Structure 1
Amino acid sequence: MSDHDHVQVLLGKRIRDLRKAKGYSQEYLAEISGFHYTYIGGLERAQKNITLANLIKIACALDVGVYDLFAYNKLSSSVDKKSSDIEKIIEVLIKLPNKDVRKIKDFVYGMFEDKI
């Protein structure tokens, strides 16, 4: 993946994250920014290039500065992976009987008591 493609993917993810944080659907963001919802989807999936003028429209619709659209960081991918790992652990725990969940809780607390 080229640097250009990587930035485009990060920008798309950032637009999606900001949109979702506002509770906006793609359709609503498109409506208030003057675009078709398929354009917003294309941006979020890094399938569309965007002009500066359109970046400004989207930033205004999201009530953020243009610079906020580029305020992604490497932590977000590690947080996403951590969240995914936690979700997988929860899926396993839900399937276990209560007594086993308590044993695991006690084990984890004992193992990491100095960090909790």
Structure 2
Amino acid sequence: MDIVKVFGTNLKKYRTQKGLSQEKFAEECGLHRTYISDIECFRRSISLENIQRIADALEIETYKLFIDEKDKEIHF
């Protein structure tokens, strides 16, 4: 699992579900738009502090940003 890709993909999914542009979302997080873009394009790793800021702005539990949808298959 590439955690940077999983996080960036989930960030974009939850941000777009809320109907927020990168710019508007960045304002809500107190971060820069290019920083959000870099995360969503898998070009940046981020601190725990910023992970929490992002989760808070998305109004989700932090762990949801780390769930790889491809790995959620049920195995019997």
Q: Aligned residue pairs: how many?
A: 72
Indicate yes or no: 2:38 matched with 1:42. yes
TM-score by length of 1: 0.58
Q: Which of 18, 21, 28 lines up with 1:22 in the alignment?
A: 18
Which whole-Å CA distance do the structure 1 matches of 2:55 and 2:3 have between them?
17
Contact 2:23–2:33 at 8 Å: present in 1 too?
yes
Indicate yes or no: 2:51 matched with 1:62. no
Q: Tell me which of the two structures has the higher relative contact order, counting C-alpha pairs closer than 8 angstroms and 6 or more residues apart.
A: 2
**Runs of 4+ residues over 2 Å off in structure 1:** none
Question: Normalized per residue, which structure has more helix?
Answer: 1
Measure how far apart 1:55 and its partner are: 0.2
Letter in structure 1 aligned against 2:24: Y
Letter in structure 2 aligned against 1:63: E
TM-score by length of 2: 0.87
In the other structure, the counterpart of 1:105 is none
Which whole-Å CA distance do the structure 1 matches of 2:44 and 2:21 have between them?
18
The percentage of counterpart residues that share the same residue type is: 36
Which whole-Å CA distance do the structure 2 matches of 1:25 and 1:72 have between them?
23
Letter in structure 2 aligned against 1:62: L
